[in-house]
Amino acid sequence: MEILFSITLISIPVGRRNTAAITVHIRSIFITLDAGMTKEVISRRVFFSRTETSGCCKYDTSCFWANHFNQPAGHGEKSLMKSGSNLEAVLKSGHFAITGELGPPRGTDVQVVKKKAAFLKGMVDAVNITDNQTAVVRMSSWATSILVVQEGLEPNFQMVCRDRNRLAMQADILGAYAHGIKNMLCLSGDHQSFGDHPNTKGVFDIDSIQLISMVKTMRDEGRFLGGDEIDGPPKMFIGAAANPFGEPFEWRVHRLAKKVAAGADFIQTQCIYNMDRFRQWIKMAEDMGLTDKVYIMAGVTPFKSLPMAKYMKNKVPGMDVPDHLIKRLKGVEKKKRAAEGIKIACEQIQEFKEMKGVAGVHLMAIEWEHKVPQIVEQAGLLPRPNIKSDAGGDTSEESEEEED
């Protein structure tokens, strides 16, 4: 592997910039080396911010380094509302949160979206709207998110780096926020060679960590990546994904740390089946102080069948399905295996509720949205909290009198 680096070294007068601006400069020299990277010439452009904001870290350099390089600090990044979204309010209030997932249709039939949304309404605190998942063309994530808002659900708008350059990304973020979308999940995206247009050129103008940083800069500094001011910044609650089981396992938590440093407010993990190994991962995140800075939501995907479980174990990269779960499904009658898969998922959710460092679950009932009400009720996650929130402010639960 041959990697060529072009890195600009800069001097930053701390007294004239806030922590957000300093973090952008520091992050600009972080290089993420992913598996499979070939010869690259990597350079980072530094944009200086003139924004000044108040806050306890403004001139406290010791607090800045503690916050961004995983040392103990007197406060975390969870303290103030950043978007005013329902998901953020639920997490901030200390409730065990749950998010769902809705895949857009492969066409223009909005009834498909409305039907799926009906199963999720009142069951989840927000719903992920996927962005051409598995690199297959579908209705756009932001358009589907608008339909979901109209159905009374809060969307978690997904954006992948595969399909857009930074101009299109920033434009879509502004448009999404203007339509009332307040949550966003920043992803790399499945490689186009696995989808229905395998000859598509992948964009990857910026990677997922840089996308997180860009959204944070837009929100907190009110500036585009190019440095110009935004007339009405998008106050997004910024999410990212994490795979606890990728190899090398010991380095997965460090990739998580990079996303937290870049500005992620919440993390949704890939599907979890190996609970023992996940405990190791969450313990490492806790030891690094990451669980004090970001809300981690564990991914749960119920097995529909034994073939699905075997496929997840043998064919899906980065997935860890223990043999005892395969054996458990084999020991059940074929017609009862779906119910057993739901039972396993509910048992996992109960474990996650008791696990330190886990703030909620991300329920991925793949094309099985009609089973979400059963799973959520069986897992004891109803009723969902009803919380009033405002960006930059505090949260409070509504009383029964206010609801009436």
Look up residue 388 and give its amino acid.
K
Q: Please give the Cα distance from 347 to 345 (Å, whole number).
A: 5
The per-residue pLDDT for range 142-153, each reduced to its tens digit, is 999 999 999 999
Give the architecture-level CATH label for domain 79-382.
Alpha-Beta Barrel (3.20)
Name residue, tokens 């009436």: 404
pLDDT tens track, the chain, 404 positions:
444 444 444 444 444 444 444 544 454 444 333 333 333 333 333 333 333 333 333 333 333 333 443 333 333 456 689 999 999 999 999 999 999 999 999 999 999 999 999 999 999 999 999 999 999 999 999 999 999 999 999 999 999 999 999 999 999 999 999 999 999 999 999 999 999 999 999 999 999 999 999 999 999 999 999 999 999 999 999 999 999 998 899 999 999 999 999 999 999 999 999 999 999 999 999 999 999 999 999 999 999 999 999 999 999 888 999 999 999 999 999 999 999 999 999 999 999 999 999 999 999 998 899 999 999 999 999 999 998 655 655 666 653 333 43
Least Cα distance to 164 among 113, 128, 215 occurs for 215
Cα four-point dihedral sign 61, 67, 70, 76? positive
Region for residue 99 given its phi and psi (left: phi exceeds 0; alpha: psi -120 to 50; beta: otherwise)? beta
H-helix segments, 6-140: 19-27, 61-68, 86-92, 110-120
Least Cα distance to 358 among 85, 78, 79, 91 occurs for 91
Domain with CATH 3.20.20.220 in the chain: 79-382
Task: Provide DSSP, 52-84.
Answer: ---STTSS-HHHHHHHHTT---SS-S-SS-SS-
Exposed e or buried b per residue across 154-168, where buried means at least 16 C-beta atoms within 10 angstroms of its C-beta: bbbbbbbbbbbebee
- What does pTM read for this prediction? 0.80
The per-residue pLDDT for range 122-139, each reduced to its tens digit, is 999 999 999 999 999 999
pLDDT at 393: 57
Q: Please give the Cα distance from 222 to 11 (Å, whole number).
A: 23
User: Using CB atoms within 10 A of its CB, is residue 355 exposed (0-12), middle (13-18) or buried (19+)?
Assistant: middle
Q: What kind and span of H or E run contains 361?
A: strand 360-363
